[in-house]
Structure 1
Amino acid sequence: MKKVFLSLVFTAVFLASFGQQKFQVSSPNGQVQVTLSNQERLTYSISHQENVLFQPSTLGFSLNRPEIDLTEFEVLGSEEKEVNQSWTPIYGERSKIKDHYRELRLRLQTKTQAKVQVNLVFKVYDDGVGFRYEFPEQEGFKHFIVGEELTEFKMGADHSAFWIPGDYDTNEFLYKTTRLSEVKSLAANAEEIDIAVKSPIGDNFVQTPLQLVTDSGYYIHIHEAALVNYPVMQLELDKADYTLKSHLVPDAVGNKAYLQTGTSTPWRSIIISKTPEGILASDLILNLNDPAQEEYYSWVTPQKFIGVWWEMHVGKGTWEYASGKHAANTANVKKYIDFAAKYGIEGVLVEGWNEGWEDWFGNWKEEVFDFVTPYPDYAIKELSEYARSKNVRLIMHHETSGSVTNYERRLEDALDFMVANDINTVKTGYVGKIIPRGEHHDSQWMNRHYVHVGKKAAEKKIMVVSHESSRPTGLNRTYPNMMASEAARGNEFNNAPTFGLTPEHETILAFTRLKGGPMDYTPGFFDFKLNRFDASRTTQVNTTISKQAALFVVFYSPIQMLGDLPENLEKYPDLVRFIVDIPLDWEESTYLKSAPGGQVVVARKAKENGVWYVAGISDEQAREVELDFSFLEKGKTYTVHLIQDSKDAHYDLNPTGMESKSSSVKPGQKMKVRMAQGGGFVMKISQE
């Protein structure tokens, strides 16, 4: 990734009066301003165009060493600089990403007798702020245990919030839209009876990414970036003054993090925008992550795939061999390979291929899978060769059943087994309670594990998609083979026994979970009633078929799965071909009129051939969107191929209502497109 650096030094404002120290640093355009004050406690505040958005909020830590007080500091010095550079992602929503910020670094030392040095670093962008703590190597302070991070986000007002309840083990909740004062996390958690493992925290706890909207029209996004060797940050809400307090996920004995000097915390990220589109377009979280070594990851290849997966969810087949309905058998997998080859789909995921599924779920059992022993009816060598003969590759599935110690012991052999069978992509899963017992999915122990798997896979040139892992924080920049994760309520919940997904959910995901990184959301469902193989099933896919196609553009991911059964996809061959042709790597992306909980509309330009795709999704309301084609190159005429909801389409009453038409358009022209209730549209724009 070639970079262009244009660095220069600027001067931060330093004020000292009556023992009080203040430091101020502004964004390159001067609109975002951070003020740090070190009086009784070290605090920061953030304003935008002189509007205070974060009131003075405290910083610091509590350690499991009472002689060290990491809440009161003296400032030893400060360093300031401005950085203006750009970088090229291996894949992404745009081919060049601008990274322009002003940085303020404070060198701090505790006031206690046991002197400990800490650096506090703020990066201020035109669209927000990132800050983190650094613990430099120093004499007398090497190893330490974090009892809690004391970072606050003091909002000072009862903002509207798009939130899910705080939980140490899952983020598979439907989003709530309330005022901060109306957050009731325990009730929201209790509603979700279909989630396998939950560990609720308390009634005033929410997770990040958290999307807020102020009454004055600001959109504020709170999350974190570069989460490595550290627990996930949850937020505890103090409703007295609407302060959000950091709450780190603990380990089995209640400690939060075990650290050694020479390290840093994840960045606490804050995106600020006067428009919802500004949140969607922000690259702040990616910019806060370290760059990858381009040559080391040159083999990473975006891809689409289908999978022996959904038929187990709807009752057509099973994962376990002993049931007599085992879906991962040689003959059945060949049908998937043939379908993939017919439509130019690169991969076929196979779940349930390996021994152990009869005793895998809910037993908190140490050894279930060895990840190298196929069931007797799964000829993996034959299938791998068959797939390659048709320019398709198998995708491995490693369900750990939460037994992470077992997986780590066997990981090297499992990856070598993949290489020997010409498989270069793995989907990992962590369903169930974590072993070691008492650890949580979002703990420091597990976050170290997820990165460990990514690094070991990279040594074998293997790409990773993870499920039931902690929500992403932009690490796909640093480790591009960690291509996507589930880490939210995805499409498999359409088959949940009680209730699945709402149309609104997807319009909120774009503003929350997806800001951390690509999601394995598994769109591409064309059959919406799910009782064909099991009459007792009452849930359905609450979407229109046009929206399913639109999601492949709206939800960016370098690896995307068409979720439905081949026989259902085969009913709409033209639509399958349209979806397969949608690129996975873009030259540029422009978000058009969007709103969390309402609609999301995006225009993307393909990197390879310059073809544009425009797509939109809606919540439970029917909407008409007027598109302005001013983003097209002037002086040229384009052909538009539009797929949209029919006039009578409806996510429940008529989900397959769809119309397709072509027309010509010139830059500057406008066009109205239709989205039904729970619907969407997608168009391809090619130069004539």
Structure 2
Amino acid sequence: MKKLHYILLFISIGTIQAQSIQSPSKSITLDFKLSQNGKPNYTVTYKNKPVILESFLGIKLKGGIDLASNFKIEDTKKSTFNETWQPVLGEQANIVNHYNELTISLSQTKVNIKMNIVFRIFDEGVAFRYDFPKQQNLNYFIISDEVSEFNLAGDNKVFWIPGDFDSNEYAYNETLFSNINTEKIDLNNGIGVKSISGKYTVQSPLMMKSANNLYLNIFEAAVVNYPVMHLDADVTNFKLKSHLVPNAIGDKAYLQAPCVSPWRTIMVSDDARDIVSSKMILNLNDPSKIDDTSWIKPMKYVGVWWEMHVGKATWDYAGSQNAQNTSVNDMKPTGKHGATTANTKRYIDFAAKNGFDGVLVEGWNVGWEDWFGNWKEEVFDFVTPYPDFNIAEVSAYAKSKGVKMIMHSETSGSVANLERHLDRSFENMKKYDYPAVKTGYVGRIIPRGEFHDGQTMVNHFNFVARRAADYKLMVNSHESSRPTGYSRTYPNYIAAEAARGTEFNAWSNGNPPMHETILPFTRLLGGPMDYTPGIFEIKMSHYDVSKKEQVHTTLAKQLALYVTMYSPLQMAADLPENYEKYADAFQFIKDVAADWDESKYLEAEPGDYLTVARKTKGKESWFLGAITDENPRKTEIKLDFLMPNKKYKAIIYQDGKTADWKNNPINYEIKTMQVTSKSKLKLVLAAGGGTAVSFVPIN
């Protein structure tokens, strides 16, 4: 009897120490328990297949306090949440947020500190975060490390970029997990500032595919007052561990209870479309804190930008040789300055003629002569234009044409300088009726020693969005940390770059054809990307016969990107004269929407192909984009997403019969046919190619 009593007691304790929770559809199961030394750990399965093996959790505080072991469970709580909410701008008019939640209340027995671990289980994945309640033994504290683990079930195929604290502008590597090695990548890639943290450190979001055809993505959501999480890879044992970006003195995060960490996310499915269409990252962020959002609007724009990348014009007014200790009024202009009043008016005329909402002008303001590489504090004041750019005249001209101007504020990495001038800059924007700003963060960060992905910079990027909201201004950040869904909370944070964009094709080894088939599975999970597509003159030899660089797509794929790369802020990035040269293809860019009621991911395979159909917000028109990697592809698409019993005119922009991204990229065809929801479209995509289709209802 004593022996039986002991066994029953053991089972009782084991039951208290372990918890299990499933997703609403019951396809995902998460099991949590404490090990014998009080170490919290979890496992994840998908349809009874192992996804995450036993993985430990915890936080370490500066001063030697270990919040990763010696815990006991004080309480557990389960709940269910189900809502449908409406984003201000987005891929869907309605987003379902449905999950089951498990909260584990823990107490560290040696230091008597309480910490909760909160799990949310969605049908597309698992999220967890650390919650530090208000308590006597924990007020201000410093995170020295986070030991969240993701113990994988095998040697997955993985799409990765190196764990660089200062840049996410890398082309993706496609290898087995066991072959991750940042020392083997080509660093002659056009990235100006690199801070790669380790041989086996990679960035999240990390997209993977297992040998048994499960798609897996590890990321984070709601990064607020916390550094970005990179991942240390144990390539022998197929494990990942969180790697927080440090500040200038090596600390990771300064916090005060009560507070929470960002969510760590694990998406999993046997259908790649579930990953790429997931709204889980957005759902894990707080609802909008902006009451009146009527001023937040989608924009399609052109701008004085690509001509500088291709060498036709310059950002600077006088050239670097005239920069030192010379006032702008004494500078001798080079004659190549792009941001002149006359040139800007030309873009305004083009925008007005073709129905575009805005015009971006880079290089309009004083400071570009010696802005890069000097780690200089006071480069720009964000309000003073060059002598050949009359901001009042340009603003008045744009207003007369019904076009909005988009401000450009490059910081040269001097973030403290921007913050000192931020309100003055925003007041200047309001004075001249600029509704949106593109911020830039090229260079090493000032305050010196900080990284783009550290807590200080995360706080800065979020602060700019919040402060802009006070002025009813929209923000598009470039060279920022990658978004993690904060655009739900501040929907005026309309877009970001935060990945390797189109411009790299103009002056580096560029973006390989598979690049755009990976970004929707990685960078775009956290929010819209200002990828700046629409390049029609693919080869840079068009501007200089000695140049070998080119965009690594066909022209038809450039059109398809307006559908596959979601953003409510879309640039027609090429020069006006190039669009006039290919006016029939340009019609698709003029027609395509930037805000949507519905999005259907029809086909998806990371690194290979993607096909998306989207319904225009408030209209019955649809647009379809299909892209492929370096391999040609044939496919047949059902049009059952169209309204039943209605006829549509389908205008198909496709690769020509001899099209090829490298050898014949501008070969395209346009054809028109009548279709219904019962029709099928046969698509033929060239190597590095794509197809774009507009569906217009026939009344």
User: Would the TM-score normalized by the shorter structure come out above 0.5?
Assistant: yes
1:342 to 334, 350, 353: 353
Q: What residue in structure 1 maps to residue 592 of structure 2?
A: 582
1:60 to 58, 61, 70: 58
1:476 to 468, 477, 487: 487
CA distance in 2 between counterparts of 1:16 and 1:96 reads: 45
Native 8 Å contact 2:40 2:68 kept in 1: no
Native 8 Å contact 2:180 2:235 kept in 1: no
2:250 aligned with 1:254, yes or no? yes
2:299 aligned with 1:303, yes or no? yes
CA distance in 2 between counterparts of 1:515 and 1:428 reads: 21
Map 1:170-569 onto structure 2 (within 5 A): 170-188=167-185, 190-293=186-289, 295-323=291-319, 324=334, 325-497=336-508, 499-569=509-579
Q: Secondary structure at the match of 1:191?
A: coil
Q: Secondary structure at the match of 1:374?
A: coil
Alpha-carbon spacing, 1:294–1:144, altered in 2? closer, same or farther (3 Å): closer
Native 8 Å contact 2:163 2:203 kept in 1: yes
In the TM superposition, what is the alpha-carbon distance from 1:294 to its structure 2 partner? 5.5
- Structure 1 residues 530-539 or 671-680, which shifts more? 530-539
2:120 to 105, 120, 123: 123
Native 8 Å contact 1:591 1:602 kept in 2: yes
CA distance in 2 between counterparts of 1:150 and 1:75 reads: 19
Alpha-carbon spacing, 1:392–1:215, altered in 2? closer, same or farther (3 Å): same
Q: Secondary structure at the match of 1:472?
A: coil
Native 8 Å contact 1:547 1:681 kept in 2: yes
CA distance in 2 between counterparts of 1:248 and 1:272 reads: 23
1:82 to 80, 83, 105: 80
- AA of the residue aligned to 2:361: V
Native 8 Å contact 2:217 2:268 kept in 1: yes
Native 8 Å contact 1:314 1:533 kept in 2: yes
In the TM superposition, what is the alpha-carbon distance from 1:492 to its structure 2 partner? 0.4
CA deviation profile, 1:112-152 (whole Å, cap 9, x unmatched): 1x211111110101111111111111113101111111100
In the TM superposition, what is the alpha-carbon distance from 1:74 to its structure 2 partner? 1.0
Native 8 Å contact 2:223 2:484 kept in 1: yes
2:91 to 90, 93, 111: 93
- Structure 1 residues 605-614 or 257-266, which shifts more? 605-614
2:40 to 39, 42, 45: 42
CA distance in 1 between counterparts of 2:466 and 2:13 reads: 50
2:169 aligned with 1:169, yes or no? no
- AA of the residue aligned to 1:400: T
CA deviation profile, 1:509-528 (whole Å, cap 9, x unmatched): 11111111111100010111
Native 8 Å contact 1:68 1:116 kept in 2: no
Q: What residue in structure 1 maps to residue 26 of structure 2?
A: 30
Alpha-carbon spacing, 1:104–1:342, altered in 2? closer, same or farther (3 Å): same
CA deviation profile, 1:515-570 (whole Å, cap 9, x unmatched): 11111100010111213444443211121111111100111101011111111111
Native 8 Å contact 1:90 1:294 kept in 2: no
What is the total number of aligned residue pairs between the two structures? 672
2:595 aligned with 1:603, yes or no? no
- AA of the residue aligned to 2:463: H
In the TM superposition, what is the alpha-carbon distance from 1:424 to its structure 2 partner? 1.1
Q: Secondary structure at the match of 1:299?
A: coil
Alpha-carbon spacing, 1:533–1:667, altered in 2? closer, same or farther (3 Å): closer
In the TM superposition, what is the alpha-carbon distance from 1:572 to its structure 2 partner? 2.1
2:646 aligned with 1:636, yes or no? yes
Q: Secondary structure at the match of 2:364?
A: coil
In the TM superposition, what is the alpha-carbon distance from 1:20 to its structure 2 partner? 6.7
In the TM superposition, what is the alpha-carbon distance from 1:43 to its structure 2 partner? 0.1
Native 8 Å contact 1:491 1:523 kept in 2: yes
CA distance in 2 between counterparts of 1:316 and 1:15 reads: 75
In the TM superposition, what is the alpha-carbon distance from 1:636 to its structure 2 partner? 2.5
Q: Secondary structure at the match of 2:505?
A: helix
CA deviation profile, 1:486-519 (whole Å, cap 9, x unmatched): 111100000124x111111111111111111111
Q: Secondary structure at the match of 1:358?
A: helix
Alpha-carbon spacing, 1:18–1:87, altered in 2? closer, same or farther (3 Å): closer
2:140 aligned with 1:143, yes or no? yes
Native 8 Å contact 1:528 1:541 kept in 2: yes
In the TM superposition, what is the alpha-carbon distance from 1:67 to its structure 2 partner? 4.4
- AA of the residue aligned to 1:664: Q
CA deviation profile, 1:267-313 (whole Å, cap 9, x unmatched): 11111111111111111111111110453322100001111011111
Native 8 Å contact 1:233 1:249 kept in 2: yes
- Structure 1 residues 445-454 or 582-591, which shifts more? 582-591
Q: Secondary structure at the match of 1:426?
A: strand
Alpha-carbon spacing, 1:374–1:237, altered in 2? closer, same or farther (3 Å): same
CA distance in 1 between counterparts of 2:668 and 2:651 reads: 13
- Gapped regions of structure 1 (runs ≥ 5): 1-13
In the TM superposition, what is the alpha-carbon distance from 1:574 to its structure 2 partner? 3.1
- AA of the residue aligned to 1:447: V
TM-score (normalised: structure 2): 0.94
CA distance in 2 between counterparts of 1:535 and 1:664 reads: 43
Q: Secondary structure at the match of 1:464?
A: strand
CA distance in 1 between counterparts of 2:405 and 2:696 reads: 33
Native 8 Å contact 2:614 2:622 kept in 1: yes
- AA of the residue aligned to 1:108: L
- Gapped regions of structure 2 (runs ≥ 5): 1-9, 320-333
CA distance in 1 between counterparts of 2:569 and 2:407 reads: 14
Map 1:656-667 onto structure 2 (within 5 A): 656-667=666-677
TM-score (normalised: structure 1): 0.96
Q: Secondary structure at the match of 1:440?
A: coil
- AA of the residue aligned to 2:87: P
CA distance in 2 between counterparts of 1:105 and 1:77 reads: 8
Alpha-carbon spacing, 1:165–1:23, altered in 2? closer, same or farther (3 Å): same
Alpha-carbon spacing, 1:628–1:107, altered in 2? closer, same or farther (3 Å): same
CA distance in 1 between counterparts of 2:65 and 2:162 reads: 35
In the TM superposition, what is the alpha-carbon distance from 1:577 to its structure 2 partner? 3.0
Identity %: 48
Native 8 Å contact 2:205 2:217 kept in 1: yes
In the TM superposition, what is the alpha-carbon distance from 1:664 to its structure 2 partner? 1.4
CA distance in 1 between counterparts of 2:623 and 2:141 reads: 51
- AA of the residue aligned to 1:573: A
CA distance in 2 between counterparts of 1:288 and 1:318 reads: 42
In the TM superposition, what is the alpha-carbon distance from 1:240 to its structure 2 partner? 2.8
